Amino acid sequence: MKILRRLLLAFAIIYLLPALASAGLWYFKERPQSWRDADWSSTGILPEASVSPGAAIYVFSATTGGMKGAVASHAWIVTKEEGASTYNRYEKVGWGRPIRKNAYRADGRWYSNEPRIVVAVTGEEAKRLIPKVEQAIAAYPYSSPGTYRLWPGPNSNTFVAHVLRSVPELDTVLPPDAVGRDYLPEGKLFHIDADGRDLHATLYGVAGISAGWRSGLELHFMGLVAGIDIARPGIKIPAIGRLGI
């Protein structure tokens, strides 16, 4: 019984308290009441594609809308071919055609929330990786209508995490508040990234673990992520995000 009580206490401290604190702050935050009231305009984070001749790949993440925003974010991928005058934005949503291309501005706000760049790759490396990114997007198994599930997945973050695992040269993982990133496609319980540097084990996105150079050490529970970073020293706090370098 002592062991059980200690486990419950550890769970409350590591997962429950940060989630409740985040929910409390979110409740009092001024925010749009619906998607109709939200600001979806460009933030100007990205330079105009027409004046930036090189190839580029960006992964964005932004706090999502409604009460989900207390603990969760939404991620998307942006690419630009060398010499192209426009960006291409790819993401998965829960309505209409699941995989959207250029439905929103490349660096647009999401439910009025400012996005952050998770990773940026430019120049020759981006030029080399764009075909791999596009291949991973095309191979995503949940691209037909009716294949979106808010929790535990597959959702918008499941899609982007699939691309990141398929193209490990992008050398990043989604932030801890990207609920759904731990859901492995096609019901898999175990996955090793293409370069062998990260491994993931999950019980259908409900509970699991990730370990490796990019992930550090992560423990997942109910879509919430706690862990430590190795490559870039820091800690991952459920519902709040990453603190560190």
Sorted by where each begins, the domain ranges of the chain are: 2-244
**How many CB atoms are located within 10 Å of the residue 199 CB?**
14
Mean pLDDT of 132-149: 93
Residue 55 has pLDDT above 90, yes or no: yes
Least confident piece of the model among 13-22, 104-113, 157-166, 181-190: 13-22
- Confidence tier at 17 by pLDDT (50, 70, 90): confident
Cis peptide before 18 (omega within 30 of 0): no
Annotate 217-236 with b (16+ C-beta within 10 A) or e (fewer): ebbbbbbbbbbebeeeebeb
Give every CB contact of residue 195 below 8 A, 6+ residues apart in sequence. Answer: 168, 169
pLDDT of residue 245: 67
- Using an 8 Å Cβ cutoff, are 154 and 142 in contact? yes
**Mean local confidence (pLDDT), 117-127:** 97
Is the pLDDT confidence value at 221 over 70?
Answer: yes
Compute the mean pLDDT over every residue in the chain, rounded to the nearest whole number.
90
User: Has residue 215 got a pLDDT over 70?
Assistant: yes
Q: What pLDDT score was predicted for residue 25?
A: 75
170, 78 Cβ separation under 8 angstroms = no
SS3 state of residue 115: coil
Q: How far apart are CA 108 and CA 115, in angstroms?
A: 7
Question: What one-character DSSP code corresponds to residue 113?
Answer: B
pLDDT for position 7: 65
The predicted model gives 112-121 an average pLDDT of: 96
Tokens for 40, please give them.
């979806």
Nearest to 172 by CA among 234, 221, 80: 234
Query: By the 8 A CB rule, do 117 and 59 touch?
Result: yes
The backbone torsions φ and ψ at residue 13, rounded to the nearest 5 degrees and listed phi first, read -75, -45
User: Going by C-beta distance under 8 Å and a sequence separation of 6 or more, which residues neighbour residue 135?
Assistant: 166
Are the C-beta atoms of residues 218 and 225 closer than 8 Å to each other?
Answer: yes
240: tokens are 């709040």
Of residues 146, 147, 144, 176, the one with CA closest to residue 161: 176
